[in-house]
Amino acid sequence: MAGGETDAAEPEWRRLNRANWDERARVHLGPRGYNLTALRAGRGRLGLVEQELGPVDGLKILHLQCHIGTDSLALAQRGAQVVGVDFSPTAIGAARRLSAELGLADQTHFVQADVYEADRAVNDPHGFDRVFITWGTICWIPDLKNWARIIAHFLRPCGYLYFAEGHPAALVFDDQTGADPARPGFFWPYLLARGPLIEADPRDYSDPEARLANATTHQWLHPVGEVVTALIEAGLRLDWLHEHEAVPWRMFDCLVEDAEGFFRWPDRAWLPLAYSLRARAEEEEKIHHRGAEARRRGGRLG
Ligand SMILES: C[S@@+](CC[C@H](N)C(=O)[O-])C[C@H]1O[C@@H](n2cnc3c(N)ncnc32)[C@H](O)[C@@H]1O
């Protein structure tokens, strides 16, 4: 679905998740929402992403699930041309307004579309040097094969995906479960969590006072092996995978915020809280070969 169209056959999970994100986007623009000070001062913060992603000056970047565009705009401030995609019309509207306010409209383009339909909404196959996907994204989508297909569809030969996400080994815990109030407890099993987890949680990770009316969401826990395998099967090659002791949101109540705005375990880092990876597209001949194969089979790429 793109450009504000409605789809009568839209699955329930997507309708509910979008209502939740439309409401959250409004919260994130409010007084206890996202901190836009650095962005407005000319250089939005990217945290650990900055060191891992490398220079982006002059690159074309596709930012999937871009939310209100803060990271897309931070990338544009570093000289990139960025296309941001998100299924929330409220988030995309906010991203466009922010872009205009910051004088970045020439370098950014924001498109309302579901991640699985991005190939129909953005007509630029193999047109991007980077696909950029970070923090709190794949838990909202059920199927990683299709996700990886979309990434491979957009990367130019030898371009790469940069992906950073909360670590699923940590996400088996939550604050509500467990005996020790100072520690999260086991919540759902890593390998058996085929999802979706349907829950009604009115809280927001950014504004502790917010109470969401559209509280019911569908989420999926994707093991690291599933993510990597989906990317490899879509024709990407893994360059590296890093595990991190910190994550950019308060994943658990007991985490402690550091000077960079990342959250860490209060004592020993028993488990990673986040991971990131770089996966590279094939060379041109291999992409053409894969496309020809897919056409012969009458199917789609990937
Ligand atoms: C946690 S936010 C991403 C945060 C972003 N990385 C940032 O730093 O602001 C998740 C985003 O995914 C979007 N989203 C969730 N499901 C989606 C889907 N199926 N297609 C497109 N966007 C989706 C939501 O609208 C939301 O903006």
pLDDT digits (tens, 9 = 90+) for 265-293: 998 888 999 999 999 998 876 766 766 77
- 3 falls in which pLDDT band (50, 70, 90)? very low
- 302 falls in which pLDDT band (50, 70, 90)? very low
- 97 falls in which pLDDT band (50, 70, 90)? very high
Strand-pair category, 108-112 with 128-134: unpaired
Domain count of the fold of the chain: 1
pLDDT at residue 11, as a whole number = 95
- Pocket of ligand 1 contains residue 220 by CB under 6 Å: no
Best mutation site among 13, 137, 143, 163 for ligand 1 pocket (most ligand atoms within 8 Å of CB) = 137
Of all atoms in ligand 1, which is nearest to the CA of residue 88?
25
CA dist 257 and 269 (Å) reads 14
- 50 falls in which pLDDT band (50, 70, 90)? confident
CA of 65 to the centre of ligand 1 (A): 4
Calculate helix-pair angle for 224-233, 144-154, nearest 10 degrees. 40
HSE-CB of 215 using CA atoms within 13 angstroms: 10
CA of 57 to the centre of ligand 1 (A): 24
Percent of the chain at pLDDT above 90? 75
Instruction: Tell whether 210 is covered by a domain.
Output: no
- 47 falls in which pLDDT band (50, 70, 90)? confident
- 180 falls in which pLDDT band (50, 70, 90)? confident
Instruction: Tell whether 21 is covered by a domain.
Output: yes
Could you tell me the pTM of the whole model? 0.92
pLDDT averaged over every residue in the chain: 91
CA dist 269 and 169 (Å) reads 13
Instruction: Tell whether 279 is covered by a domain.
Output: yes
- Pocket of ligand 1 contains residue 86 by CB under 6 Å: yes
CATH number assigned to the domain comprising residue 131? 3.40.50.150
Instruction: Tell whether 110 is covered by a domain.
Output: yes
Instruction: Tell whether 108 is covered by a domain.
Output: yes
| Beta carbons of 61 and 129 less than 8 angstroms apart | yes
Best mutation site among 53, 86, 99, 132 for ligand 1 pocket (most ligand atoms within 8 Å of CB) = 86
CA of 244 to the centre of ligand 1 (A): 21
Instruction: Tell whether 85 is covered by a domain.
Output: yes
Structural domain range at position 68: 12-166+223-248+272-296
- Whether residue 234 has pLDDT greater than 80: yes
CA dist 96 and 104 (Å) reads 9
| H/E stretch holding 61 | strand 60-64
CA dist 180 and 174 (Å) reads 12
| Beta carbons of 272 and 243 less than 8 angstroms apart | yes
- 246 falls in which pLDDT band (50, 70, 90)? very high
Alpha helices in 41-166 (DSSP H): 48-53, 70-77, 89-101, 118-121, 144-154
CA dist 148 and 260 (Å) reads 31
pLDDT at residue 69, as a whole number = 98
- What tokens appear for 151 in the block? 């990434």
Per-residue burial over 23-44, b = 16 or more CB atoms within 10 Å of its CB, e = otherwise: bbbbbbbeeebbebeebeeeeb
- 5 falls in which pLDDT band (50, 70, 90)? very low
Instruction: Tell whether 140 is covered by a domain.
Output: yes
Instruction: Tell whether 288 is covered by a domain.
Output: yes
- What tokens appear for 24 in the block? 């959250």
- Pocket of ligand 1 contains residue 140 by CB under 6 Å: yes
